[in-house]
Chains A and B, each alone.
Chain A
Amino acid sequence: MTQPALDLSPLVSDEIRRTTCYMCACRCGIDVHLKDGKVRYVEGNRDHPVNRGVLCAKGSAGIMQHLAPSRLRAPLRRTGPRGSGEFQEISWDEALTLATSWLKPLRDTAPEKLAFFTGRDQSQSFTGYWAQAYGTPNYAAHGGFCSVNMAAAGIYTMGGAFWEFGQPDWDRTKLFMIFGVAEDHDSNPIKMGLGKLKKRGARVIGVNPVRSGYNAIADDWVAITPGTDGLFILALVHELMKAGKIDLDYLARWTNAPVLIDCDPKSPRHGLLLRDEAGKDLVIDTRTGKPTAFDRKGVRPDLGGKLRARGITHVTVFQRMAERYLSPDYSPEAIAERTGIPAEKTRRIAAELADVAFNRAIEIEREWTDFRGETHKTMTGRPVSFHAMRGISAHSNGFQTARALHMLQILLGAVETPGGFRFKPPYPKPATAHPRPHSNVTPGKPLDGPHLGYPQGPDDLCLTPDGQPARIDKAFTWENPMSAHGLMHMVISNAHAGDPYRIDTLLLYMANMSWNSSMNTGGVIDMLTDTDESGDYLIPRIIYSDAYSSEMVAYADLILPDTTYLERHDCISLLDRPICEADAAADAIRWPVVDPDRPGHPGVRGFQSVLCDLGHRLGLPGFVADDGSPKFKDYADYIVNHQRRPGIGPLMGWRGENADSHGRGAPNPDQLDRYIENGGFAIAHIPEDAQFMKPWNKAYQDWAVGIGLYDAPQPYIFQLYVEPLRRFQLAAEGHGHRQPPEHLRERIKVTLDPLPIWYPALEDGHADPVEFPVHALTQRPMAMYHSWGGQNAWLRQIHGHNPLYVPTDIWKANQFSDGDWAKVTSPHGTITVPVAYMAALNPNTVWTWNAIGKRKGTWALDQDAPEATRGFLLNHLIHELLPARGDGLRWSNSDPVTGQAAWFDLRVKIEKVPAPTQSHPVLPPIASPVGQGGARVIPKATP
């Protein structure tokens, strides 16, 4: 029979434009195919260092995000009451004049009354720069409710953390353990890495209460009880130390394990590290038996060194570690019940780690020279690697748990060695090389320095002269001294309470605070709409920028509509959250592959360009040229011409007069064109001899200086013992001029321990574990992880509603069956939701997909969309404060070290109820400024 003739070579597109994806936070390279000037198809960029051509479900669905009917179309001024969704479209000039009229008088009198917080912000080095020029201390991005425990624990311990800071050595690792990673952070690189491991026959162990996604393909699964990861890790440490299966040479050379501790209990320096006159950490040199600076040429530090002085024997960090972790409190048997992990399993995993690290070590022939001047012929690899994310960090013990995990990596000698965990530039970078926080306000002037940083002790806290919090979120206070990313989740609550003071204007960027980005969603809505006795809102003014008709839009007074990601300039900068690889520095841009197009409306502008304009209108230093004109006509102009230090700007590629320098160099007016020609990114490879042992490797340090990551070599040793934590403990013990309030002393003594510890989730001390026996978690599905687009026409067909998944015993005890509903109650609230059965769970854990549920009237969805009728948020069950326990104090539901929101400490009880018509609570619908429903755009041109 005859077959039809097919055109096997149809024209795919007229043009491919290469830019950076923004469907989540991974920042993959994409090829955007255009036909007749319209976006037609999106696929991965094969040359791009992040994704090498692959693309996830979100990335491929980006076309539906770009064409979504929920896109905002014009600046909006609120006309109805807050929360009504009633707005009037206004011109950009009206909008910017109005914003200036609000912000200018504040800057001249009380700049702290502007609180500027950004959510899904990939331009934090720019937004922070703007906020610093404005002069408010109240700036941060969303890290405080995301994963600051992970970032802070990593940076304080080893000068880098997971994800953007480093990655497993996917090509060499033989055993990979992944803790608390739902389906996210980061998306494509983890999937690509897992694929590589599987193809090489490497082993994968997943530690997670929920066996979905990555844990589904793990060779072994540890169904841990939420919040007990730290205990499990310390039991692994216990077993490895007891058996001597730790890398002693690595510990002696590259960590502060051999550094001596001041052991004089009467000293105000008790527990701090001993130092010489030059301030260098002291070790005992095994060659001489004498104390010496740790970094002297040829010194061989003694892990068991002792120094006897004035009747006191000072011992090493390693000695203290042995005393703590050899304790039977950390034996596999001792932790089995709490963690839900049989002792035999813990012991077996410890044995696997030891086997791979020491019996299957690898050695690569690469000569290198360390900071002590010693040259090594080879590099020894411990091919064990780890990755972890929110599952361990979003607990009130998350900082110490993440610290424990880094300690385990270091004990195995598996950081920066081949096969282990590898840093990505600009990391390694120790906490001491980061800024310290600044909060000193002078009306009409910039802030005295960068907002966020890494405190080294009580002197770095952001307190006013009378000891009160300087920041509206109370970051860098005794409640959470090391809150390196701020506490976005406390801003609205504190501003509403006027605690520590009242603000005037809240400026938010891409942060859905009246919905899934807040704990206590209903409460936050009340705070945003609450008025004083004269009828004025307690938070007087709210300016919000978003590209879409999200739930937060209705609660703002002025909307500055942002573009879609295909219509904008951005830089993925080394000054910010870069996209480097372990073997290379890399950065990237977004550029308008199509122009913003909102026919019949005033249109949209990139938020960063709007800030450039506002910065000029407000007369902010750095935004006004010498002749009084705007210094930057838009964000693209800033990206090319701003210099943070001479020769160092937002983008590293093609700098200098000859446009031939990666790293340092004068601004190049054609820089963006060069990026576009190169596929949207720049890459600078690290020389072979500099690719491992980076914190100590002279070749890496010199390369990093050359490219502008540092201005001078800064080798350092890993901080198994984090001395800044001890400084806060000392204050709590009564030493020093800055003293914590009485009610926090004991907590600081316990939780700010300089060596990793485990303690139960703080909520367990407030919510009765007997009354609320079930742990409740959320995770984002891979097809929507970190995505600003649950409304996406294609993705919502994959994840359009979210049941609560219930494990076997609870399912049976409640006699649930398919289609049933349950009432879920926490100490804070109740929701009524559909349930579904899942066997592959920790027996005391329920969970659901996060951020599927939508408010009626938002996101241009019909009001009867399943997201708005059956979809739900667990957020209603979580409070930003812990339940009251009769002591008259407000205890924040956050990690006591960093302030990270403790989402995953949630405890609930669950009972079957008759099926209602929709999930509860039911909130009233919001009017949509962009309409609702309708058909989707078909990209294919009709013939």
Chain B
Amino acid sequence: MTQLPTHTDKKLGLVIDLDICVGCHACVVACKGWNDQGYGAPLSDQDPYGSNPAGTFLNRVHSYEITQENGPAQVVHFPKSCLHCDDAPCVTVCPTGASYKRSEDGIVLVNEDACIGCGLCAWACPYGAREMDQAAGIMKKCTLCVDRIYNENLPEIDREPACVRTCPTGARAFGDLSDPDSAVSRSVAERGGFDLMPELGTKPINQYLPPRAKGLGQDIDVLAPLLDIQPEPTGIVGWLDKLLGKP
């Protein structure tokens, strides 16, 4: 069993805006590309050109339909990766100490040298956010691009996770959620950001911003005052004259 730190200096994480995500999978593939050649073992693909292609991804987008009594069905795109929980069951379940939560920034990582590939952490994670790499036999998960966010070989502006840098709609943001004045914390406060499955008590750091209400806008009646301009009884000519302000 592995212990969680009693305190982390920061709580780095993602804020994902479900009102904006169009489900394009840009974050999924940018993540794959970066982490295939980044932290730890490559993200392998089994049977990549065959009948059952299946590989390791640290971030996936799920799409859900929501049907409702009044109004048309809605579609929500839901990107999901490790939420870097404060009370991460994947860490406490780890028999070797390979899974750990960093005390400085709260990132949950797997020390691949210590991972025995037992899979207990994936079983413990209620979000399905960990994937066993079939080629390496070790557990892979979102690192919050720990090899980008502090990387002095990258320009400062690029020191953010690959998924955030690439997101075309700007639906993903990265920052310190322990700092109430950070941009991510402010957007969570303004938009009613929520924990995923809070009842589980995992205290996820990543936050989701809900889709805004859909449907008709506020009542607008700008047409009504002008609806008395009718083609009848003076016909088109009368309409035209009235419209053009002719006597």
Interface residues of A (CB under 8 A from B): 1, 3-4, 6-12, 40-44, 46, 51, 53-61, 63, 69, 183, 187-188, 191-192, 194-196, 198-199, 203, 211-221, 223, 239, 242-245, 248, 302-304, 318-319, 322-323, 326, 345, 347-348, 350-352, 354-355, 358-359, 782-783, 791, 793-798, 800, 838-840, 860-862, 864-866, 869, 932-936, 938-940
Q: Least Cβ distance of B26 to chain A in Å?
A: 5
B113 with A43: CB separation less than 8 A = no
B34 with A860: CB separation less than 8 A = no
B49 with A840: CB separation less than 8 A = no
On chain B, the residues within 8 Å of A10 by CB distance are 38, 147, 151, 153
A-B contact pairs, 9 of them (CB 8 A): A56-B24, A69-B49, A194-B169, A198-B20, A348-B216, A782-B23, A797-B55, A798-B25, A938-B36
Q: Least Cβ distance of B207 to chain A in Å?
A: 17
A797 with B54: CB separation less than 8 A = yes
On chain B, the residues within 8 Å of A355 by CB distance are 220, 222
Q: A9-B153, A211-B72, A862-B51 are in contact. Are A940 and B42 (CB under 8 A)?
A: yes
On chain A, the residues within 8 Å of B57 by CB distance are 797
Q: A191-B168, A839-B73 are in contact. Are A864 and B51 (CB under 8 A)?
A: yes
Most buried by B among A8, A359, A939: A8
Q: Report which of A242, A862, A865 forms a contact with B230, defined as CB distance below 8 A.
A: A242
B48 within 8 A of A: yes
Q: Report which of A359, A782, A935 forms a contact with B48, defined as CB distance below 8 A.
A: A935
On chain A, the residues within 8 Å of B150 by CB distance are 8-9
Q: Least Cβ distance of A21 to chain B in Å?
A: 12
Q: A56-B24, A56-B26, A60-B32 are in contact. Are A219 and B51 (CB under 8 A)?
A: no
Q: Report which of A194, A216, A938 forms a contact with B76, defined as CB distance below 8 A.
A: A216
Q: Least Cβ distance of B127 to chain A in Å?
A: 20
Q: Least Cβ distance of B121 to chain A in Å?
A: 16
A212 with B75: CB separation less than 8 A = yes
B247 within 8 A of A: no
A60 with B166: CB separation less than 8 A = yes
B70 within 8 A of A: no
Q: Report which of A192, A212, A239, A800 forms a contact with B223, defined as CB distance below 8 A.
A: A239
Bound Cα distance from A4 to B107, whole angstroms: 13
By beta carbon, the residue of chain A nearest B104 is A3
By beta carbon, the residue of chain B nearest A791 is B49
Q: Least Cβ distance of B217 to chain A in Å?
A: 6
Q: Report which of B44, B152, B217 forms a contact with A9, defined as CB distance below 8 A.
A: B152
B196 within 8 A of A: no
- The segment from B81-89, B174-182, B198-206, B235-243 that touches chain A is B235-243
On chain B, the residues within 8 Å of A869 by CB distance are 51
B100 within 8 A of A: yes
On chain B, the residues within 8 Å of A194 by CB distance are 20, 22, 169
Q: Least Cβ distance of A643 to chain B in Å?
A: 37
Q: Least Cβ distance of B229 to chain A in Å?
A: 5
B226 with A244: CB separation less than 8 A = yes
A220 with B216: CB separation less than 8 A = yes
Bound Cα distance from A242 to B38, whole angstroms: 62
On chain A, the residues within 8 Å of B65 by CB distance are 838-840
On chain B, the residues within 8 Å of A933 by CB distance are 47, 49-50
Q: Least Cβ distance of A24 to chain B in Å?
A: 12
B53 with A797: CB separation less than 8 A = yes
B53 with A11: CB separation less than 8 A = no
Bound Cα distance from A860 to B239, whole angstroms: 66
B interface, over-half SS: loop
The total of chain B residues at the interface (CB under 8 A) is 89
A41 with B37: CB separation less than 8 A = yes
On chain A, the residues within 8 Å of B195 by CB distance are none
Q: A191-B24, A359-B222, A782-B25 are in contact. Are A326 and B217 (CB under 8 A)?
A: no
B33 within 8 A of A: yes
Q: Report which of B36, B214, B240 forms a contact with A940, defined as CB distance below 8 A.
A: B36
B171 within 8 A of A: yes
B26 with A8: CB separation less than 8 A = no
A243 with B223: CB separation less than 8 A = yes
Most buried by A among B26, B30, B47: B26
B15 within 8 A of A: no
Q: Report which of B52, B226, B231, B240 forms a contact with A319, defined as CB distance below 8 A.
A: B240
B45 with A936: CB separation less than 8 A = yes
By beta carbon, the residue of chain B nearest A316 is B240
Give residues of chain B (79-109) contacting chain A, Cβ–Cβ below 8 Å.
97, 100, 102-103, 109
Bound Cα distance from A354 to B113, whole angstroms: 64
A220 with B217: CB separation less than 8 A = yes
By beta carbon, the residue of chain B nearest A222 is B72
B24 with A782: CB separation less than 8 A = yes
On chain B, the residues within 8 Å of A198 by CB distance are 17, 19-20, 169
On chain A, the residues within 8 Å of B30 by CB distance are 43, 55, 57, 60
Bound Cα distance from A841 to B95, whole angstroms: 49
B69 within 8 A of A: no
A304 with B20: CB separation less than 8 A = no
Q: A213-B23, A839-B65, A940-B42 are in contact. Are A57 and B50 (CB under 8 A)?
A: no
By beta carbon, the residue of chain A nearest B148 is A12
B48 with A793: CB separation less than 8 A = yes
A57 with B26: CB separation less than 8 A = yes
On chain A, the residues within 8 Å of B154 by CB distance are 12
B75 with A840: CB separation less than 8 A = yes
Q: Report which of B38, B97, B113, B171 forms a contact with A195, defined as CB distance below 8 A.
A: B171
On chain A, the residues within 8 Å of B234 by CB distance are none
Q: A9-B152, A41-B34 are in contact. Are A793 and B45 (CB under 8 A)?
A: yes
B170 within 8 A of A: yes
Bound Cα distance from A677 to B244, whole angstroms: 57
On chain B, the residues within 8 Å of A192 by CB distance are 168-170
On chain A, the residues within 8 Å of B170 by CB distance are 192, 195-196, 199
Bound Cα distance from A288 to B190, whole angstroms: 59
Bound Cα distance from A199 to B244, whole angstroms: 39
Bound Cα distance from A714 to B171, whole angstroms: 42
Q: Least Cβ distance of B10 to chain A in Å?
A: 14
On chain A, the residues within 8 Å of B158 by CB distance are 46
Q: A12-B151, A57-B28, A213-B23 are in contact. Are A203 and B169 (CB under 8 A)?
A: no
Mask of B155-195 contacts with A, CB within 8 angstroms, 1/0: 00110001001111111000000000000000000000000
Q: Least Cβ distance of A885 to chain B in Å?
A: 36
Q: Report which of A56, A244, A796, A932 forms a contact with B53, defined as CB distance below 8 A.
A: A796
A797 with B26: CB separation less than 8 A = no
By beta carbon, the residue of chain A nearest B28 is A57
On chain B, the residues within 8 Å of A7 by CB distance are 147
By beta carbon, the residue of chain A nearest B21 is A217
A793 with B169: CB separation less than 8 A = no
Bound Cα distance from A244 to B222, whole angstroms: 11
On chain B, the residues within 8 Å of A793 by CB distance are 45, 48-49, 53, 55
Q: Report which of A60, A213, A220 forms a contact with B33, defined as CB distance below 8 A.
A: A60
By beta carbon, the residue of chain A nearest B211 is A217
Q: Report which of A8, A40, A795, A796 forms a contact with B146, defined as CB distance below 8 A.
A: A8
Q: Least Cβ distance of B110 to chain A in Å?
A: 10
A56 with B217: CB separation less than 8 A = no
By beta carbon, the residue of chain A nearest B242 is A244
Bound Cα distance from A319 to B146, whole angstroms: 66
By beta carbon, the residue of chain A nearest B32 is A794
On chain B, the residues within 8 Å of A318 by CB distance are 240
B29 within 8 A of A: yes
Q: Report which of A196, A213, A244, A782 forms a contact with B229, defined as CB distance below 8 A.
A: A244
Bound Cα distance from A44 to B164, whole angstroms: 12
On chain A, the residues within 8 Å of B49 by CB distance are 69, 791, 793, 860-862, 865, 932-934, 936
A216 with B45: CB separation less than 8 A = no
Q: A191-B168, A795-B29, A936-B49 are in contact. Are A304 and B240 (CB under 8 A)?
A: yes
On chain A, the residues within 8 Å of B113 by CB distance are 4
B236 with A322: CB separation less than 8 A = yes
Most buried by B among A6, A51, A69, A352: A6
Q: Report which of B44, B47, B51, B236 forms a contact with A323, defined as CB distance below 8 A.
A: B236
A219 with B168: CB separation less than 8 A = no
